[in-house]
Structure 1
Amino acid sequence: MEHRYSENLHSPGAELVQKTLLQKLSALTRFHAGYFRISLSLCAQALLWKTLSAADPRALHFILHLLPAAAFDVLWSFALSSLVVLCALYAIRCACRFDCFKAELGHHVGVNYLFAPWASALLLLQCAPSPFLRPERPAYHVLWWAFAVPILVLDVKVYGQWFTKGRKYCLSAVANPTSQMTVIANMAAAAAAAATDLKEIATCMFTVGLAHYLVLFVTLYQRLAGSESLLPALLRPVFFLFFAAPATASVAWAAISGGGGSGGGFDTAAKMLFFLSFFLFLCLVSRPALFWRSMRTFSLAWWAYSFPLTVLALAAEKYAQEVKGGVPNAIMVVLSLVSALVTVALILFSAFNPALLLPHRDPFLPQPSIPS
């Protein structure tokens, strides 16, 4: 009887089942927090077009009126679905391979994208179409706390690690462009809080994010050759986060100082942050050779282009509402359309190249190694 049981285990059917399970486990293990850049990009697009439709700028009037009335609801639902699916997959991955999650917590790139799902949720919360999720409603406050507290916990974990764990985890050794995700998450939380009566908390989140950004920007600017912060060529699209952080800060400060009105709070400080973001954007796009090697083959890293362009377009919309004129409107229109086209192109590339989204050798993937 034992011999028959052993034969069943080694039968072709059993081996096929085992191989299928191993393949699924391998694919699940290759899934990591970096995939939340997809939901972050889609949620930012939802917020951008909600803002544009509310402001109804003349420069985009012809485009907005061509869209069906339910277009924004479809976009918001699509962004929400992507976030829910990615969160579910990541939760399953953590349950099945908790060792991979622990490795990600100590990885100089992976830990930064743990901020992304919470930032995505806060962006969606700001543009929710449901009347039950308006800023004055209790549900908005409850969800804000649910999404902001994990950001604060990660802040304490990451910042404390830099202060107390010695040379291996000091900022000068592990800083890289993805480290700016911590700044972006804090600014997203500040902007969402500013829409309510949580002004003091919004200012607190903004202060923490800004202080970190000032130190991080100088550290990245002066980083040494050969340090761990240097990324492989495949990951160079994340350099776009250099202008995403000040753009998000510009939008957050406009919300804090102006009570969330369209353009009404875009004061001198918000303009300075927008100008810094736009300057860094011009510096990067003027160096296309920097990104050439990463553009040879489609990869998850390409999604790093979408969110920065979208949030810069959002800041440009706020600026155009405050400073009337042809140039601000032209900047807003170009950035909005480019961000939308880039996002659509990335969706199509992802749909037609799903295998390239889960490569066996992903530079973002922290150790331990995965089964092939």
Structure 2
Amino acid sequence: MTEASAQTSKLQHFPVPIFATIMGLMGWALAFHAVPDGMPLAGRLSSGVMWIGTAVFAGLATLYLVKLVRFPEAVRSEWNHPVRLAFFPAISISLLLLSTAMWAHFPDLAKGLWLTGATGQVVLTLAVVSGWISHRSFEVGQLTPAWFIPAVGNVVAPIAGAQMGFVELSWLFFSAGVIFWVVLLTLVFNRLIFHDPIPGKLLPTLVILIAPPAVAFSAYVSLTGQVDGVARIFLNAAYIFAALVLVQAPKFRHLPFALSWWALSFPVAALAIASFRFGGLTDSDVHTYIGYGVLVVLSVTMIGLIARTLLAAVRGEICVPE
């Protein structure tokens, strides 16, 4: 195979789940931003990671757009894939997270990004859910926690949207996200308890269980401006799922690296952010310390994921057919 044909093959197999890396990077930036005042280094790290994530998103989005133009059948194949279908909203979620990270620095640009991401989230959520309930049937074994991604996107939108003035629209997104989370949570636990275990390659997606309630806490607080019983339910649900995942963590040790490992990043970031926000709003030092602990775990995880992804890219292990 010539070098040109090899590059063409890689582009054809450029996977949509790779946008989970942007969710992780933006989550990391927002986690640093959520650190209590008095730590200038955290602010600088937040800005640095935000710009790195922005550059990576621009590059990945360009490559996937080229793939869409040159290999529409390959994109259609991903759309029809029972697992990869759920990763398409990771593109619009990345825009929403980017707008959230930029809100403090460039409010006008952040609003434009939010509107673009919110529009994309509406379109992709409707398209993905329509795909789920279409005439084709899915098998129980094809259901994984990755199916939470569209729901997570809807609860991400209100975090910045409420601050930007899109209050009613943010409530709409929040309602949709929570409803889909509850429905999918039931389906996922039915699959986990009564059917075959999740394949090893997709086992890291269990960490996504943490994301919906953790993000829902931050969204609810942004919408209401208070920490009440509902907010506490969301936060503590996130802690419960984190404990469940922690018990399963030893199973991850001997798994080979795959892009699914990036499922570890954003949920952990969301938990750190929620802990910092709860600690700040209720003067709870315990939750603030939990936030610091989770941030350390997140930072170690992110450094490992970045290093392993770069190594896999150099070895040609990323853009390959399944």
TM-score in same-fold range (> 0.5): yes
| 8 Å CA contact retained: 1:251, 1:318 | yes
| 2:21 alignment partner in structure 1 | 38
> Residues 97 and 272 (structure 1 numbering): CA distance in 2 closer, same or farther, change over 3 Å?
same
Say if 2:216 is the partner of 1:280.
Answer: no
Q: 1:208 is matched by which residue type in structure 2?
A: A
> Residues 144 and 359 (structure 1 numbering): CA distance in 2 closer, same or farther, change over 3 Å?
closer
> Residues 173 and 342 (structure 1 numbering): CA distance in 2 closer, same or farther, change over 3 Å?
closer
| 1:9 alignment partner in structure 2 | none
| 8 Å CA contact retained: 1:300, 1:357 | no
CA distance in 1, matches of 2:16, 2:224: 33
Say if 2:210 is the partner of 1:236.
Answer: no
| 8 Å CA contact retained: 1:188, 1:248 | yes
> Residues 142 and 361 (structure 1 numbering): CA distance in 2 closer, same or farther, change over 3 Å?
closer
Say if 2:212 is the partner of 1:245.
Answer: yes
Report how far residue 197 of structure 1 moved: 1.6
Say if 2:14 is the partner of 1:24.
Answer: no
| 1:358 alignment partner in structure 2 | 318
| 1:292 alignment partner in structure 2 | 253
Q: Which runs of 5+ in 2 are unaligned?
A: none
CA distance in 2, matches of 1:278, 1:180: 17
Residue among 177, 180, 183 paired with 1:209: 177
CA distance in 1, matches of 2:6, 2:317: 15
Report how far residue 142 of structure 1 moved: 3.1
| 1:10 alignment partner in structure 2 | none
Report how far residue 169 of structure 1 moved: 4.3
Report how far residue 45 of structure 1 moved: 1.0
CA distance in 2, matches of 1:248, 1:69: 21
The residue matched to 1:287 in structure 2 has which SS?
helix
Q: Which has the higher helix share?
A: 2
The residue matched to 1:222 in structure 2 has which SS?
helix
Residue among 218, 222, 229 paired with 1:268: 229
The residue matched to 1:195 in structure 2 has which SS?
helix
| 2:98 alignment partner in structure 1 | 124
> Residues 357 and 251 (structure 1 numbering): CA distance in 2 closer, same or farther, change over 3 Å?
farther
Report how far residue 356 of structure 1 moved: 5.8
| 2:262 alignment partner in structure 1 | 303
> Residues 69 and 242 (structure 1 numbering): CA distance in 2 closer, same or farther, change over 3 Å?
closer
The residue matched to 2:2 in structure 1 has which SS?
helix
| 1:85 alignment partner in structure 2 | 59
| 8 Å CA contact retained: 1:37, 1:303 | yes
Residue among 286, 308, 315 paired with 1:349: 308
| 8 Å CA contact retained: 2:32, 2:42 | no
| 2:224 alignment partner in structure 1 | 257
| 8 Å CA contact retained: 1:266, 1:318 | no
Q: 1:196 is matched by which residue type in structure 2?
A: M
Larger Rg: 1
CA distance in 2, matches of 1:196, 1:122: 12
> Residues 151 and 80 (structure 1 numbering): CA distance in 2 closer, same or farther, change over 3 Å?
same
| 1:155 alignment partner in structure 2 | 125
Structure 1 vs Structure 2: percent identity of aligned residues?
Answer: 21
Q: 1:255 is matched by which residue type in structure 2?
A: S
CA distance in 2, matches of 1:330, 1:44: 19
| 2:114 alignment partner in structure 1 | 144
The residue matched to 1:318 in structure 2 has which SS?
helix
Q: 1:160 is matched by which residue type in structure 2?
A: S
CA distance in 1, matches of 2:111, 2:125: 21
> Residues 357 and 315 (structure 1 numbering): CA distance in 2 closer, same or farther, change over 3 Å?
farther
| 8 Å CA contact retained: 1:183, 1:213 | yes
Q: 1:97 is matched by which residue type in structure 2?
A: F
CA distance in 1, matches of 2:223, 2:74: 38
| 8 Å CA contact retained: 1:73, 1:129 | no
Q: Tell me the TM-score normalized by structure 2.
A: 0.91
Q: Tell me the TM-score normalized by structure 1.
A: 0.80
Report how far residue 193 of structure 1 moved: 1.1
Within-5 A mapping of 1:1-12: none
Q: 2:122 is matched by which residue type in structure 1?
A: L
> Residues 121 and 286 (structure 1 numbering): CA distance in 2 closer, same or farther, change over 3 Å?
same
| 8 Å CA contact retained: 1:47, 1:124 | no
Cα RMSD for the two superposed structures: 2.2
Residue among 146, 155, 159 paired with 1:187: 155
| 1:4 alignment partner in structure 2 | none
Aligned length: 319
| 1:262 alignment partner in structure 2 | none
